[in-house]
Amino acid sequence: MFKYILTMLLACHLFVVSGCKVADDTDYEYLDSWAVQAITLQNRISQNVPLRLAEFPATHNSFNAQAYSNGFSYLDPNHVPSMLNQLRMGKRMINMDLHWDIHYNAATRLITTDVVLCHDSSDFGFCSMWDRTFAEGLIEVRGWLEENDEVIILKLQDELDGHYEEAYSAIKAEISDLVYTPSSPCDPFNLEVSKAEILAQGKKIIITGAKSSTCNNSWGEFVYLDEGMFASVNHETFEPYPICNNLTDAIQQKIYGATNDGTQVAQIILQKNKMTIDQVSALARCGVTAISFEPLQWWDERHVAQIWSWDVDRPRRDDTSRNCAIQKIDGRFVDETCDVDIAFSCQHPQNRDWKITQLSGQWANGFLACENEFGQMGYLFSTPVNGYENARLSDIKEEMGIASVWLNYSDNINEGSWEPL
């Protein structure tokens, strides 16, 4: 066994350029595409609403990516791009499985033990001593967050075998200043808080994965309970809008996700099916906000299927005169000059119901129009924050025989930075 380890170490040393270091797998053309622009803007629409309504496109086993494959680790990846590129592509929930296992430290050239990101299970898979460490994963995530004012969820799977102090130390050393922490260990997460409120405190990361049996350990200082925060649906049996598996109310109360296993073991041996374009679209339209389709790869049409907001190639980059958004007849957003006369979308901030004004006018009159017609009932000029809200507004528009409505959504303040006011 020891001879085998030495052989592997020598191979890694000899082929370090092609094997054991993480290569730059970035497709910069894709990152500049409409799909990435649209999903990034879509994620930001929900900055000011409760997190239970907000978009958090996800990846499952985020660390198990082809970008990290080196001949010994991550041989059957769930994804192609690195975690950094997953974030660049619009993903906002990153999943890491934490194992306490042997690890080859390239700096010291010693075999030690560490908290590693390992794709292991009782049936298939194993940890390799060349798997990346938890600390390396956190450094990668932090690098992106330092350049982006976004809130992400870091969802941890606990396979630590009691080594919480070591996981706690990695969090404290690498990202502690960015973590939105529980008031006290074992506190459940308050899903009524918004991304904007978290960012206002200088925080960008929500960490989940604690259990009732582990939250009193040291990492309970940083890690929220999963209990009550998440739920999931089966993409293969999910019924599209307006049925949505009769879960429309429930889906708006938690962060609902759906995933498929993109590994070769799942596809070939276990005969698992990939999530289809139509399934991604159906999930998004029903307000499932944490969709993880696998394998995540560049130029996958499922990226486009999760976009319920902007129409293709909108907003236009070549026309700075179009600073206000409308929802058009098919439910998609387009940018328009703000002086067009059309009706206004008004929403109740608590029950999330929609009304549309009888009065038409220019975009700047939206708040006053909603106040005049529905203010006594508490409705405000607004914008859908997830696919279900967008579908409901589109239905009401169709019932009233209205082709387009103004949305409280513009880049009047900062060109290219679309925000609800």
Confidence at residue 106, expressed as pLDDT on a 0 to 100 scale: 85
Give the integer Cα–Cα distance in Å for 295 and 275.
9
* Residue among 137, 118, 114 nearest 128 (CA): 118
419: left (phi over 0), alpha (psi -120 to 50) or beta: beta
Q: Answer whether 256's CB lies under 8 Å from 233's CB.
A: yes
Query: Which is nearest to 104 in space by CA: 142, 76, 136?
Result: 136
Name residues whose C-beta falls within 8 Å of residue 332's C-beta, 6 or more positions apart in sequence.
309, 310, 311, 314
Q: pLDDT at position 119, please?
A: 83
Q: Say if pTM beats, i.e. exceeds, 0.85.
A: yes
* pLDDT score, position 219: 87
Beta bridge partners of 94: 59, 154
Tokens describing residue 50:
């409760």
- pLDDT confidence of residue 22: 60
* From-to residues of CATH 3.20.20.190 in the chain: 2-305
Tokens 């070939």 label which residue? Answer: 268
Scanning the structure block, which residue is given the tokens 């019924």? 239
Question: Cα–Cα distances in Å, from 14 out to 8, 70, 106, 134, 394?
Answer: 10, 12, 13, 25, 60
Q: Residue for token digits 């978290």?
A: 198
Q: Which residues contact 259 (CB under 8 A, 6 or more apart)?
A: 58, 60, 232, 235, 275, 291, 292, 293, 294
Enter the tokens of residue 74. 């991550």
What is the token pair recorded at 235? 């993409």
Q: What is d(CA 232, CA 255) in angstroms, rounded to the nearest whole number? A: 8
Angle at 355 between CA 197 and CA 358, to 5 degrees: 130
Mark 313-340 as b/e (b = at least 16 C-beta within 10 Å): ebbeeeeeebbbbbbbeebbbbbbebee
Q: How confident is the model at residue 39, as a pLDDT?
A: 98
Q: Which CATH number fits domain 2-305: 2.70.150.10, 3.90.245.10, 3.40.50.970, 3.20.20.190?
A: 3.20.20.190
**Count of C-beta atoms within a 10 Å radius of residue 20:** 20
Per-residue confidence (pLDDT) for residue 64, from 0 to 100: 95
Regions of the chain short of the pLDDT cut 70: 1-23, 121-125
Task: Kindly state the tokens that stand for 174.
Answer: 């690498």
119-169 pLDDT, tens digit each: 875 444 478 899 999 999 999 999 999 999 999 999 999 999 999 999 999
- Take residue 304 and report the two structure tokens written for it: 């486009």
Q: 301-354, pLDDT tens digit by residue?
A: 999 999 999 999 999 999 999 999 999 999 999 999 999 999 999 999 999 999
Average pLDDT along the chain: 92
